[in-house]
Amino acid sequence: ISFSDLSRIECSAAASSDSAVQLVAFNASSGLCAHFRCRLGLSHCRKCCSLNKAAPRGLWRNWTQYQSEFGEGPDGNYWIGLNALHEITQHGSHKVRFLMKAWNGSEHWAEYSSFSVGPESDNYRLSVSGFSAAAPASATASLQFTTKDADHDTHPGNCAAFFRGAWWFTNCHCTHPNGEYRDASVATEDPYAQGVIWSLSFGYYYSLMEFEMLVL
């Protein structure tokens, strides 16, 4: 069964509740394991690519680690891997949806109707377009991925090292889903732009309670 078939799996009745529903599927042809989640009224289960919701270890990893899957699974911090993102998005058309949960319990979303990630030879260049959302746009197209030990951003320094995460940075960021997790006691305090950030909705001094990235 292919990824395209699996992405059309109908959510169970439990998907209409507030709690997430997880499915795990394995694609024999690609050797990739995908977590599928049903949330926020989505009619189908979607590929979970990134989830930042807890402090232990977090997402401040090196280039080699970001190329592959890591984390605690779909119920904790999780990253599907840059190689998997390229594999998934190089065939057909795909959307990306970002789901955000604030500390007051409110949920917000942003979506791009076109999403792809390039190969390792181009440092997994991001391509996004066609924005629609309840939260203002904060992602930028045609950027290469940066980690603390592989600097491909447009800043003179290394944005990933300074902001303790990894992402498709510019100079440096207006969004940082993979930022260092900050609990409720410090989520709305200094330092500037540190944490799980979606600045156009929440500003640079608000670190989100949860951030999830889904490929549709």
Query: How many angstroms separate the Cα of 42 from the Cα of each of 13, 16, 170?
Result: 12, 9, 31
Contact criterion met (CB below 8 Å) for 189 and 89: no
> What is the rounded average pLDDT of the residues 99-109?
88
Phi then psi dihedrals of residue 179, to 5 deg: -70, 170
More confident residue, 150 or 84: 150
Within 10 A of 155 (CB to CB), how many other CB atoms are there?
15
> What is the rounded average pLDDT of the residues 2-15?
39
Q: What is the pTM of this model?
A: 0.79
- pLDDT at position 67 is 95
Q: Which domain holds residue 195?
A: 3-215
Query: How many angstroms separate the Cα of 215 from the Cα of each of 80, 113, 162, 174, 192?
Result: 11, 10, 28, 21, 29
- pLDDT at position 20 is 46
Q: Report CA Rg, the chain.
A: 16
For residue 61, pLDDT beyond 70? yes
**DSSP string covering 49-114:** EEEE---SSTT---HHHHHS-EES-TTSSEE--HHHHHHHHSSS---EEEEEE-TTS-EEEEEEEE
> What is the rounded average pLDDT of the residues 137-162?
89
For residue 2, pLDDT beyond 60? no
* C-alpha–C-alpha distance, residues 66 and 61, integer Å: 7
- pLDDT at position 35 is 52
For residue 93, pLDDT beyond 70? yes
User: pLDDT category, 153, cuts 50, 70, 90?
Assistant: very high
Please name which of 51, 82, 60, 49 lies closest in space to residue 147, comparing C-alpha atoms.
60
Q: How many separate domains does the chain show?
A: 1
Average pLDDT, the chain: 78
CATH code of the domain covering residue 171: 3.90.215.10
CA 91 to centroid of chain Cα atoms? 20
For residue 106, pLDDT beyond 50? yes
Residues 157-177: tens digit of each pLDDT: 999 999 999 999 999 998 999
Buried b (16+ CB within 10 A) or exposed e, 114-124: ebbbbeeeebb
Task: Please state which of the ranges 15-29, 76-90, 149-163 shows the lowest mean pLDDT.
Answer: 15-29
